Each structure stands twice: as C-alpha cells, then as structure tokens.
Structure 1
Amino acid sequence: MHIQVNTSNGIANTEGLERWAADYLNEHLGRYRQDITSIEVQLSDQNHGAKGGIDKRCMMEARIAGRPPVAVTNEGADQDLAFRGAAEKLGRALDHALGKLDRKEHRERETIRKDVDTLPQ
C-alpha cells in the first residue's frame, strides 16, 4: 500500500511527517492491505496561519483495485486531530464500501481458516 502525503498553506511536509503518517495508516487500515493500492493525504491550513478555531483540514483518498476511489475530509484544531479524524472516517468508509462488496460477490482473500479434511486427526 503506497502512501503519499501532500501539504499546503504553511504546513511543512517533512520526512518525519510522511513516515509517521505511513506508519499510522498501515497500522489502522492494515486489514485493507489487499484491497488498497494507494492512499493520498492532503493536509492544509484553512485560515493560512491565523490562530484559533478549527482551521486544519485533512483529505484522504484511498484507491481500491478495480473500484472507484473512496475519499473523506476532516477538520480539526490541529493537524494531528484533523489527520486522525480523517483516518477514522476513511476506515468507516472502507468498511462500508468493501462490506457491500463482500455481500454481493466473493472476494479472493487470505484466510486463517483451514479445510477440516486436511487437518491431522
């Protein structure tokens, strides 16, 4: 799963931010690793550096193999709250989108279940 972080409007895009974002998303959305090809994150400061209010915005878009992308947006008082909120929203959106797919057609997935006939007696 490829993760790309973009920033604008006064938010510094550092290597540490990209590494932290990738680690966080891999941990929280790892159960979708087989379905997601990439996630794009866009962090921005809505009021361009002025203090106060809910002014940080995080947009996340997950690209799913063979399906339309899933996108969410969250705003917060700081970039951490905006990012974490967007990650939670993306998880729920993916649950919804991929849960529907599971109900309509069987997806090829890894499983921990084993065929009972092949287990040693």
Structure 2
Amino acid sequence: MKVQINTDKNIEGSARLESYFSAEIEKSLDRFEDKITRVEVHFGDENGEKFSLNDKKCVIEIRPVKLQPITVTEHSDTLEKAFSGALAKAKKVLTTTYEKINAH
C-alpha cells in the first residue's frame, strides 16, 4: 500500500507532517493492506490566511484492488482533527464495503 500526502499552497508540507500522517494511515488501515494499492491524502486550507471555523479540509482517496476509488472528506478547525475524522470515515467505508463483498 503506497501512501501519498498532498497539500495545497496554503499548507506547508514538511517531512515530519508526511511521516506522521503516513504512519497513522498505515497503522489504521493495516488490516486492509493487501486490498489497497494506494492511499492519497489531500490537505487544504479553504480560506488561506483568513481565519474561520472548519476551514481545514482533509480528503482521503483510497484505491482498492479491483474496485472503484473511495473518497471521504472532513472539515475541521485543525488539520489533525480533519485527518482523524476523514480516517475514521475511510475505515468505516472500507469495513462496510468488504463486509458486503464477503457476504455475497
């Protein structure tokens, strides 16, 4: 499973940020590791320099083997909260998807 971290022009993408979020994804989605080819995480700040609530966005796109890509989005006031929310949604969607496949 390859993990790719992307940021928009308003968020500074550092090596520490990439390694932290990559490790969290690998740890959280490890039970699906053989079923996923790639995970892309996109971070954005929708208002740039201006402050507003819930302007940080995290989009996680998961590329399962032999299935259509799965995309989840979460908005929050910090990148960490947006990431945690999106990752929770991604785990839920993957669990549901594979439970349905195994039921048939």
TM-score class, shorter: over 0.9
Q: Counterpart of 1:73 in 2: which secondary structure? A: strand
How many Å apart are 1:9 and its aligned residue? 3.6
Would you identify which runs of 4 or more consecutive aligned residues in structure 1 move more than 2 Å? none
How many Å apart are 1:96 and its aligned residue? 1.1
Amino acid corresponding to residue 72 of structure 1 in structure 2:
V
2:85 aligned residue? 85
Amino acid corresponding to residue 75 of structure 1 in structure 2:
H
Matched pairs, number: 104
TM-score, normalised on structure 1?
0.83
RMSD of aligned alpha carbons: 0.8
Gaps of 5+ in 2: none
2:55 aligned residue? 55
1:119 aligned residue? none
Matches within 5 A, 1:1-121: 1-104=1-104
Quote the sequence identity (%): 29
Moved more, 7-16 or 81-90: 7-16
Contact 1:9-1:46 at 8 Å conserved across structures: no
- Taking CA–CA contacts closer than 8 Å with sequence separation of 6 or more, which of the two structures ends up with the larger relative contact order? 2
How many Å apart are 1:98 and its aligned residue? 1.2
Is the helix fraction higher in 1 or 2? 2
CA distance in 2, matches of 1:102, 1:17: 35
TM-score, normalised on structure 2?
0.96
Amino acid corresponding to residue 22 of structure 1 in structure 2:
S
Amino acid corresponding to residue 54 of structure 2 in structure 1:
I
Is the strand fraction higher in 1 or 2? 2
Gaps of 5+ in 1: 105-121
Amino acid corresponding to residue 71 of structure 1 in structure 2:
T
